Structure 1
Amino acid sequence: MIKPSPIKQADRFELPPAPALISRNAALVLLTLLLLVAASFYSLQIDWRALLSEEAIRTSAEFLRGFTPPDTGSGLLHKVFFAALETLAMSALGTLIAALLGLVMALPASGRFGVVAMHSMRLILNILRAIPELVWASIMLIAAGLGPFAGTVALAAHTTGVLGRLFAETLENLPPHAEATLRTNGVSAGNAFLYATLPQGLPQMLSYTLYRWENNIRAAAILGVVGAGGLGQMLKYHLSLFQMPTAATVIIAMLILVALVDALSFAIRRWLMR
């Protein structure tokens, strides 16, 4: 019977040393963030005792009691329903315009037309998304007057900057092999992009678009405060007259609209990812 030879010390498999839980650079970044958070709390001088004092709680509860019970008159519900449809239309149309413009602007922003075009387009996208929707709405109100048109353009302008940057990053991160193969076989650059690159990035782009639509529903309700139509304009009007029960009805309509759009967007995103 042949006995197995003993394993030599050099033939034994040695596990590599366990990696560190956190690197030195990551620890330095984490420490810097903690210092910034601590400095922020110190510089803001937040008075938690005043916020949680008995007087603050009593006055807040008294203010909230003014919203009850909500006004459920048929005339008001009719107005709220059409204002909700106006808010929904503003958000949907603004998001659609932004998605189309964002895709067009994402092509040069992703570096497909050279370095100069990439940096120039990224600068434009940075400007578009750096300006808040309320500022865009104020500018559009001066140009176009009160109404949902100003709110729609404001949403489209800001969302174009956001989606354009997200679409550009999506195109940059896609694997180039499929498009390169088509180009090698004589397919034009436009057709190679449409048949190889765009189908790969389209699900993620649609997911980004749906998520921004959810955000624009909330933003459209806020834009009405500056006179851009929809539920926000109704809310501002009734709050300025201290009609709290009527304002409560408008707020409930906002919550229902946001919840419905969130559920619809979530279902569509799950279907796209499958």
Structure 2
Amino acid sequence: MDSKRRLPPPLFSARCRACWLVAGVVVLVVASFLSLDLHLAAFASSESLASMGRFVREFFPPDLSPSFVGRVAAGAWETLAMSALGTLLAVLLGVLMALPASHARGGARAGMRLLLNALRSVPELVWAAMLLISAGLGPFAGTLALAIHTSGVLGRLFAEAVENAPPGPGAALRTQGAGTVRVYLYATLPQVLPQLMSYTLYRWENNIRAAAVLGVVGAGGLGQLLMFHMGLFQMDKTATVLIAMLVLVALVDGASFALRRWLTR
């Protein structure tokens, strides 16, 4: 009798919200395959595979001449500097916008939330393309693009962290007559600081990748070298730039992971 009562639930139930959600996702995926003109058979044909093989072979051996490796190292440093400075500016802006986005009342809070949504809804590549008109070619436009987009992301994450902070220390300061800014600086911010640092390091990892791509529109760094040599079909030099991107991202990911582990101890 007990075994009959404990039968496993059916795979699909009309009262199960998760089942309907999964079914909707499956329908969306199937509709996407049907609506897109995907030439999967041509992609997997022997002719396409042979062309891809010839293309990959052109990358080897990479150009490891000292002069070019020096240029790639300078581009890697420029990419790293763009990501670090852009993230730092975004942290400062995010901290400033987190307080009104979390504790302001009425229209001020809604307006700040709307601003954060607008900043992060525009990708870094689009920000860089628009800023090139005023800032010109080079890393300055890329740094500003990273800072603007990331400030919207971090501002929203910081605001959520501030809202979820324990209210006890802040309430104790308010009973002593402390204002909102002092409560934020001396009670709320110290509690959420490890979480803010974790968010910052994670976004720095993302900005390394984004800074490497911003060179597509002329924002400097490894991306600009990549587009230049790929446009000239210099695949040996392109391979060297790609290797530098992989090494840079791996080093930053490892350092960021170690720092996050240290912060959460």
**Do they superpose with TM above 0.5?**
yes
Counterparts of 1:197-216 in structure 2, within 5 Å, are 197-216=188-207
Which of these residues, 35, 39, 50, is aligned with residue 43 of structure 1?
35
Aligned to 2:3: none
The reply on whether 1:131 has 2:118 as its aligned counterpart is no
Percent identity between the two aligned chains = 59
Shift of 1:106: 1.3
Q: Distance in 2 between matches of 1:202 and 1:19?
A: 45
Counterparts of 1:1-274 in structure 2, within 5 Å, are 24-110=16-102, 112-274=103-265
TM-score (ref. length: structure 2): 0.92
Which one-letter code corresponds to 1:90 in the other structure? M
Shift of 1:25: 2.0
SS of residue matched to 1:69: coil
Shift of 1:144: 1.2
Q: Distance in 2 between matches of 1:239 and 1:109?
A: 44
Shift of 1:190: 2.2
Which one-letter code corresponds to 2:243 in the other structure? I
Which one-letter code corresponds to 2:182 in the other structure? N
Q: Distance in 1 between matches of 2:146 and 2:89?
A: 9
Question: Once the two structures are superposed, what CA deviation does each residue of 1:173-226 show, in whole Å capped at 9, x if it has no partner?
Answer: 222122112212333322222222111111111111111111111111110111
Q: Distance in 2 between matches of 1:267 and 1:18?
A: 46
Shift of 1:44: 1.5
Q: Distance in 1 between matches of 2:184 and 2:61?
A: 57
Q: Distance in 1 between matches of 2:57 and 2:197?
A: 42
Shift of 1:18: 10
Q: Distance in 2 between matches of 1:20 and 1:102?
A: 46
Q: Distance in 1 between matches of 2:71 and 2:158?
A: 38
Please, which moves more after superposition, 50-59 or 252-261?
A: 50-59
SS of residue matched to 2:177: coil
Q: Distance in 1 between matches of 2:21 and 2:236?
A: 49
Which one-letter code corresponds to 1:78 in the other structure? G
Which one-letter code corresponds to 2:259 in the other structure? I
Which one-letter code corresponds to 1:132 in the other structure? P
SS of residue matched to 1:271: helix
SS of residue matched to 1:261: helix
Question: Once the two structures are superposed, what CA deviation does each residue of 1:76-131 show, in whole Å capped at 9, x if it has no partner?
Answer: 01111111100000000000000110111111111x12121111011111111111
Aligned to 1:12: none
Shift of 1:47: 2.8
Structure 2 portions without partners, runs of 5+: 1-5
Which one-letter code corresponds to 1:149 in the other structure? F
Q: Distance in 2 between matches of 1:49 and 1:217?
A: 36
Shift of 1:19: 11
Q: Distance in 1 between matches of 2:148 and 2:186?
A: 29
Shift of 1:252: 0.4
Q: Distance in 2 between matches of 1:29 and 1:64?
A: 41
Q: Distance in 2 between matches of 1:185 and 1:206?
A: 29
Shift of 1:20: 6.8
Contact preservation (8 Å) 2:137, 2:219: yes
Shift of 1:234: 0.8
Q: Distance in 2 between matches of 1:198 and 1:18?
A: 50
Root mean square deviation, CA, Å: 1.8
Shift of 1:171: 1.1
Larger Rg: 1
